[in-house]
Amino acid sequence: MFTCRVIERIDELFDADDAVMQGLNTVIGSNHIEDSTGLDAALDIERLCDTLRQYTPITVLTGAGCSTASGIPDYRDFAGRWKQKPPMQYGEFMSHESARCRYWSRSMIGWVRFSSARPNPLHFALATLEQHDLIHSLITQNVDSLHSQAGQQQVIDLHGRLADVVCTTCGDLSPREMMQQRLYECNPDFARHIQSGATDILRTTADGDVLLDDLAGLDDFSIPPCSRCGGVLKPDVVFFGEAVPRERVSEAYAALESSAMLLVVGSSLMVYSGYRFCRAAVRSNIPVVIVNAGRTRADDVAEFKIEADLFRVFDAVIDRLDVA
Please give the positions annotated as active site: 159
Q: Which DSSP letter does residue 234 get?
A: E
Whole-number Å distance between alpha carbons of 9 and 309: 36
Phi, psi (deg, nearest 5) at residue 139: -105, 120
- Answer positive or negative: Cα dihedral of 139, 143, 147, 148: positive
Tell which residue, 311, 318, 308, 302, has the closest CA to residue 263. Answer: 302
User: Helix or strand or coil: residue 50?
Assistant: helix
Q: Residue 57, preceding bond cis, omega within 30 degrees?
A: yes
Whole-number Å distance between alpha carbons of 230 and 224: 9
**Burial of 253 per CB tally in 10 Å (0-12, 13-18, 19+):** buried
User: Helix or strand or coil: residue 233?
Assistant: strand
- Answer positive or negative: Cα dihedral of 300, 303, 308, 309: negative
User: Helix or strand or coil: residue 184?
Assistant: helix
CA angle 264, 270, 274 (to 5 degrees): 50
Tell which residue, 277, 280, 254, 256, has the closest CA to residue 267. Answer: 277
Alpha-helical segments (H) within 204-292 = 246-257, 272-283
**Burial of 123 per CB tally in 10 Å (0-12, 13-18, 19+):** buried
